[in-house]
Amino acid sequence: MARLGTSPEPSHAGGDPSAPQHVAIIMDGNGRWAKARGLPRTAGHERGVEALRRTVEAAGDLGIRYLTVFSFSTENWRRPAAEVNTLFGLLKAYVQRDLSRLQQDGVRVRVIGQREGLPPDIAELVDRAERETATNSKFHLTIAFNYGARNEILRATQVYARAIAAGEVTGELTDAGFEQYLDTKDLPDPDLVIRTSGEYRISNFLLWQAAYAELLFVDVLWPDFNKSHLESAISRYHERERRFGAVTPGAT
Ligand code: IPE
Ligand code: IPE
Ligand code: MG
């Protein structure tokens, strides 16, 4: 079906033409996974990183070109400091351990979210990962870390307002124009947003970009997520009819 709206046309270069181009995942349920086993929440987060590794590989195999994962929200600062520290440590360890492998596999790594407020060592590591993979284009892994959609939209609006005040921008603001100020400026909109763990909410993830995404809520807890869950999510995506506000051809 023709794709309407402001998103770039899917290119599918090197991918499976029937796969959704961009899948975004709210990786939820680490704490419950651990609790069910009598383990500390941190054990769930550790196993969550393994699920992320599996999912990056599976997404590539299944012809998805863009994978965006929600890893730490601006609201997750409300958790105990020890848990926040664990989550920061796991991001650091993931990038340190996997960067060369991702680089070899032609993965472009991006981290979206507010950079300000991240510990300097993590901010530096994230900058390095982005810089070193900047010319890769086979697969795009975007990690939403210290990310909240409202925060992203407000930051974008501030930069835009300053550019107007400085006389750097003139003319009418369009959807496509505004998107240039978002953290996701080089990414197509997600086609499919999956949330694990049986919660039916968006929790401040990609509020602008997911305007016409298909939403899928699955019961599996994130540390258990594997390739077969992703395959089944893609099958369910194919059962959907995306209309983008138009009418189905032949329906009138
Ligand atoms: C997802 O798992 C990871 C983050 C939100 C950082 P949770 O830690 O939210 O796990 P539950 O929802 O408590 O089970
Ligand atoms: C959403 O999960 C954020 C991430 C997965 C990083 P939460 O566990 O923080 O969401 P709520 O609090 O249940 O809405
Ligand atoms: Mg949760």
pLDDT of residue 248: 83
Check if the beta carbon of residue 192 is closer than 8 Å to that of residue 230.
Answer: no
User: How much distance in Å is there from the Cα of 96 to the middle of ligand 1?
Assistant: 22
Which domains, and CATH codes, for the chain? 22-148+188-238 (3.40.1180.10)
Mean pLDDT of 79-105: 98
Q: Ligand 1 pocket test: pick from 197, 205, 220 the residue with the most ligand atoms within 8 Å of its Cβ.
A: 197
How confident is the model over 157-192, as pLDDT tens digits? 999 999 999 999 989 999 999 999 999 999 999 999
Q: Which ligand is nearest to the CA of 145?
A: 2
Catalytic (active site) residue 224? no
User: What pairing do the DSSP bridges indicate for beta strands 22-26 and 192-195?
Assistant: parallel
Mean pLDDT of 214-235: 98
DSSP helix/strand/coil, 120: helix
User: How much distance in Å is there from the Cα of 32 to the middle of ligand 1?
Assistant: 8
End-to-end CA distance of the chain: 17
Q: What pTM was estimated for this model as a whole?
A: 0.93
How confident is the model over 200-213, as pLDDT tens digits? 999 999 999 999 99
Q: Which of 16, 76, 105, 151 is catalytic?
A: 76
Residue 7 has pLDDT above 90, yes or no: no
Catalytic (active site) residue 183? no
